[in-house]
Amino acid sequence: MKTSLVNLIFRALCDVSEQTTHRKGIAARILMDGVNVVGKMENRTRIVVPWPLPPMIPILKSFGYTEHNDRSGTREMAFLRELTATSTYYTLDL
């Protein structure tokens, strides 16, 4: 996940000391305070993260995401086939 949007928001709304504190762990905060919350609000049952960058993998695992490396006919692969050639994805049941 890129932090450029978050950095812009913090620069506009926070003083320098707050920026340093709030910018740590931004990927984890986006997952927990953004993606997971919105998913639950919209009554989603599963979050799928296709082909995460290496720094994201420990973060996903720490929040209970499950790694899949599967080329079979799962629902996720049917969806991902149109978006990416990867067979690696992570899921979290909400």
Cβ distance 50 to 83 under 8 Å? yes
Per-residue pLDDT tens for 39-83?
A: 999 999 999 998 888 888 998 999 999 999 877 778 888 777 777
- The count of domains in the chain is 1
Cite the beta strand spans of the chain per DSSP E: 46-50, 66-69, 88-93
Per-residue pLDDT tens for 79-92?
A: 777 777 778 889 99
pTM, whole model, 2 decimals? 0.67
Q: By residue range, what is the domain housing residue 43?
A: 4-93
